[in-house]
């Protein structure tokens, strides 16, 4: 069975076609700048397939439908494509960001489910409308293939009330559902399963602190395989410092900027989402560039790295206290998987918690799950590559098998 995985943003979408019999990626790519004068489609046929190649196309894509149409054409192109017919696609798995309290599990996206996702757009205006658009277009272009929604929030549906209710007037939760939802759930769940397999433990008995550190960053406390606390909140802005997002700050700072300095809501939104985090401190948001600048003596770049690592360490400490017993600390996503310098700094001086990183093991680069902890450390520190697309495809298969 072949599953097409779609992850839509407002002017982009990522796609990946996976043969689920062998869990092999047949091709993947990205459509960018949808709605702009010139759009771009990148396509990568994967190594090991007989259509292994990589190229980009530049042309306007007025909307998601046009972009998706171009991808469908490529998939079945007689020279470049990996399919003879679109009928070979058995299902489409969609990343959907916010399922709220109404959708707590991956599900077939019928009219009722789409309506719920649309209603939740108010709380996730950057993501849910785009996700919904992807579902509509896929249903139009591939009417034979069921669409399954896999929600970023679903892994966190097990949070206890004490972790998800904000200390605001309770009516805001009761009437408006203002609460912590948590994000990156597909990744946290995937690395939880991978870490359990790596350690030879039953996933229902494992306690972990999972650190998804990419452009967006979130930390999750996993107890007996379930999310019991997580750093992102109502939106993906809360928690640790990120590439361009500030993470948790004193909310009164925004009130001050609004009431005393005259910044309006769109300006504040841009400030905390796009101009803050690593970028706000040193002008750069890619950790590779920041390390390079720091090595050249850029003090603000060094400060940005120190602040980032400090904010992750604080969550590790906090979630250690939440869990009591920790079977492993897990690093994943762009920074978590690749940045040995950040991992070492985050875990520095945590021997008291049984956490210590071995310098040599930490420096090894690999695409496989690995243990980088020091020989005598009580708590394994693991690097586990995430694979959200495969996780979405697996969930899609699971939902279909239950029909
Ligand atoms: P996203 O959250 O958009 O899915 P990724 O998980 O791919 O992002 O993470 C992207 C981030 O990973 C980049 O901003 C970059 O800072 C970081 N990154 C990728 N490779 C490295 C590396 N070798 N060293 C340090 N940071 C890296």
Residue 387 C-alpha to ligand 1 middle, in angstroms?
A: 14
User: Which residues line the pocket of ligand 1, CB cutoff 6 A?
Assistant: 214-216, 243, 286-288, 333-335, 338-339
d(CA 393, CA 9): 18
Q: Which residue has the tokens 């989402």?
A: 273
Give the global pTM: 0.94
Q: Are 155 and 187 in contact, with CB atoms under 8 Å apart?
A: no
Grouping H, G, I as helix, E, B as strand and the rest as coil, residue 45 is strand
Residue 12 C-alpha to ligand 1 middle, in angstroms?
A: 18
Q: Catalytic pick from 50, 77, 152, 264? A: 152
Tens-binned pLDDT, residue by residue, of the chain (403 aa):
999 999 988 888 999 999 999 999 999 999 999 989 999 999 998 877 666 688 899 999 999 999 999 999 999 987 878 899 999 999 999 999 999 999 999 999 999 999 999 999 988 888 899 999 999 999 999 999 999 999 999 999 999 999 999 999 999 999 999 999 999 999 999 999 999 999 999 999 999 999 999 989 999 999 999 999 999 999 999 999 999 999 999 999 999 999 999 999 999 999 999 999 999 999 999 999 999 999 999 999 999 999 999 999 999 999 999 999 999 999 999 999 999 999 999 999 999 999 999 999 999 999 999 999 999 999 999 999 999 999 999 999 999 999 8
Q: Which residue has the tokens 């925004």?
A: 254
Q: Are 138 and 147 in contact, with CB atoms under 8 Å apart?
A: yes
Nearest-CA residue for atom 21 of ligand 1? 338
d(CA 216, CA 240): 9
Nearest-CA residue for atom 19 of ligand 1? 334
Q: Is 152 a residue of the active site?
A: yes
User: b/e per residue, 82-121, with b = 16+ CB within 10 A?
Assistant: bbeebebbbbbbbbbbbbbeebeebbbbeeebbebbeebb
Residue 292 C-alpha to ligand 1 middle, in angstroms?
A: 14
Atom of ligand 1 nearest to the CA of 243: 14
């Amino acid at each position: 069975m072949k599953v097409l995985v779609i992850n839509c943003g407002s002017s982009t979408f990522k796609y990946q076609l996976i043969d689920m019999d062998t869990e092999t990626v047949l091709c993947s790519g990205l459509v960018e700048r949808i709605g702009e004068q010139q759009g771009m489609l990148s396509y990568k046929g994967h190594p090991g397939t007989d259509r292994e190649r990589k190229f980009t196309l530049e042309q306007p894509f007025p909307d998601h439908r046009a972009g998706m149409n171009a991808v469908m054409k490529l998939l079945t192109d007689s020279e470049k494509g990996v399919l003879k017919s679109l009928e070979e696609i058995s299902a489409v798995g969609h990343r959907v960001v916010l399922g709220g309290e109404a959708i707590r599990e991956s599900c077939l996206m019928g009219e009722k489910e789409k309506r719920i996702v649309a209603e939740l757009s108010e709380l996730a205006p950057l993501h849910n409308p785009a996700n919904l658009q992807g579902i509509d277009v896929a249903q139009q272009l591939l009417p034979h293939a069921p669409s399954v929604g896999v929600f970023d929030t679903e892994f966190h549906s097990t949070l206890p009330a004490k972790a998800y209710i904000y200390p605001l007037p309770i009516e805001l939760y009761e009437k408006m559902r203002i609460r912590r939802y948590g994000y990156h759930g597909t990744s946290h769940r995937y690395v939880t399963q991978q870490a359990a397999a790596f350690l030879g433990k039953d996933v229902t008995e494992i306690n972990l602190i999972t650190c998804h550190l990419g452009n967006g960053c979130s930390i999750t406390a996993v107890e007996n395989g379930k999310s019991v606390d997580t750093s992102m909140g109502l939106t993906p802005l809360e928690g640790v410092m990120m590439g361009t997002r500030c993470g948790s700050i004193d909310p009164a700072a925004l009130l001050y900027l609004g009431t005393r300095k005259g910044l309006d809501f769109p300006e504040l939104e841009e400030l905390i989402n796009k101009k803050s985090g690593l970028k706000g401190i040193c002008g750069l948001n890619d950790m590779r560039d920041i390390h390079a600048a720091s090595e050249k003596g850029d003090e603000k770049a060094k400060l940005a790295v120190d602040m980032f690592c400090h904010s992750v360490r604080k969550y590790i400490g906090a979630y250690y206290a939440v869990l009591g017993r920790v079977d492993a600390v897990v690093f994943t996503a762009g920074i978590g998987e690749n940045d040995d310098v950040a991992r070492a700094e985050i875990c520095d001086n945590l021997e008291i918690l049984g956490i210590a990183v071995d310098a040599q093991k930490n420096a090894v680069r690999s695409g496989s799950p690995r243990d980088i902890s020091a020989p005598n450390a009580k708590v394994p520190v693991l690097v586990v590559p995430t694979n959200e697309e495969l996780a979405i495809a697996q969930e899609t298969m699971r939902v279909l098998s239950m029909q």
